[in-house]
Homo-oligomer: A and B are copies of this chain.
Amino acid sequence: MSAVVTEKPQLREGAFGHATALSCRECGHQIDLGPFYACPECFGPLEIAYDFPQVTREEIEAGPRNIWRYKALLPVPSDIELSPNTEPGFTRLLDAGNLARELGLAKLWVKDDSTNPTNSFKDRVVACALSAARELGAKVFACPSTGNLANAVAAAGARAGIKTVVFIPSNLEQPKQVNSAIFTEQLVAVDGNYDDVNKLAQEIAGEEDGWAFVNVNVRPYYAEGSKTLGYEIAEQLGWRLPDQVVIPVASGSQLTKVHKAFQELIKLGLVEGKPYRIFGAQATGCSPVSVAYKAGVDAIRPVKPDTIAKSLAIGNPADGIYVLDICRETGGAVEDVTDDEVRDAIVLLARTEGVFTETAGGTTVAVLKKLVESGQLDPSAETVVINTGHGLKTLDAVSGRVGPAATIAPSYAAFAETGLAEA
């Protein structure tokens, strides 16, 4: 098991806020907070355990208009907003009346994370990872990524003034390459797929001292950032939980953390407890969790991804089994859709709500549609769908589908001939 630093770091008082320990998700074994991510007893994934203080809605509402309003519930120091970071979060929760009508839903909201600093939800998790890297004394901030994470890490690292090295597959789309390289001189293209890049990152984390790979050796801290999506949904609904949430599944971490956030809010008395159903969305070309859900089994069989939804293309999802548990326990489901359904849904969301989502968001909206049509989702219940990223990053997915209705000479006569005035 690699470490950010070889020696146990000297942690300052309150370095991780109200976090008390790292707790194994599998066996429950607890260890001290530090640069660890796997249980020393059973190698299960470690998660942050807390002893939360009394937190009030008013305290949160008086906080900054970004994720640090929830700092008391995150593994970050109480002065976190003073450290340079991209200030992500508190994105729009849009009343999606048009899309609701189109799909036959009584009430639908879009939680739109495409307006985050680097245009995806990854800015949330990276902000928490950056804080951990700082507190653990890391010298290098790094990640393996298929795109969105690379953008977020490179931007946050630049602003924090820490050496930042980002690893991507060498065949990554040009927009996502530029959107990382613009922030860091140390973008490394790796000949291989994401799994190869990820393995290399683990190798480097084991060999080099002081490297904080956000999604590898500081993953427990990183993953907690996704809880803020759940907190925001509840606060923006007026401190209540929705009835149903549809969430994309890549590693599955985000879905588990939204559930964790809802549970924490209930326990803290910040929202009223109530049943809610959580649904997972995958692309058929990479749907190991959906396949297991439909087969009624607990084991997830890894797949080789083949889908345009590249930011969801994790063939062996680390949190897949927890996604299954949560979707089953809450009465939700996991569903998958074809690439054509993904493309259609990107256009559908744009034409109804003015939100341009990337393929991951297209997957989630397409799954929402399919869940309604198959009767798995209750159309009369209040529903939230999460849009995790921006369409400008995956232009190729739709550039063949949309375009000018006409190309004309610059004259009124030419325009009149198009018939668009009457259309």
Contacts and interface: CB of A to CB of B under 8 A. Distances in A.
A406 interface: yes
A408 B402 CA distance: 37
A186 B423 contact: yes
- Which residue of A119, A354, A391 has the most chain B CB atoms within 10 A of its CB atom? A354
Contacts of A177: 403-404
B415 A182 contact: no
A295 interface: no
A94 B98 contact: no
A168 B410 CA distance: 10
Contacts of A158: 98, 350-354
A342 interface: no
Given A182-B346, A403-B187, A410-B190, A392 B175 contact: yes
A183 B87 CA distance: 28
Interface string A357-400: 00000000000000000000000000000000011110100110
A355 B85 CA distance: 11
Contacts of A87: 92, 94
- Which residue of A168, A179, A415 has the most chain B CB atoms within 10 A of its CB atom? A415
A87 to B, nearest CB: 5
6 nearest A-B pairs in the assembled complex, by CB-CB distance: A155-B354, A159-B354, A181-B402, A196-B410, A189-B404, A192-B410
27 contacts: A84-B95, A84-B98, A112-B117, A115-B115, A115-B117, A118-B356, A119-B390, A155-B354, A158-B350, A159-B352, A175-B392, A178-B403, A179-B392, A182-B391, A183-B351, A183-B354, A184-B351, A185-B405, A186-B420, A186-B423, A188-B418, A188-B420, A191-B410, A192-B409, A192-B410, A200-B415, A203-B412
Interface of A: 65-66, 84, 86-87, 90, 92, 94-95, 97-98, 112, 115-119, 154-159, 161, 163, 165, 168, 170, 174-175, 177-179, 181-192, 196-197, 199-200, 203-204, 207-208, 346-347, 350-356, 390-393, 395, 398-399, 402-412, 415, 418, 420-421, 423
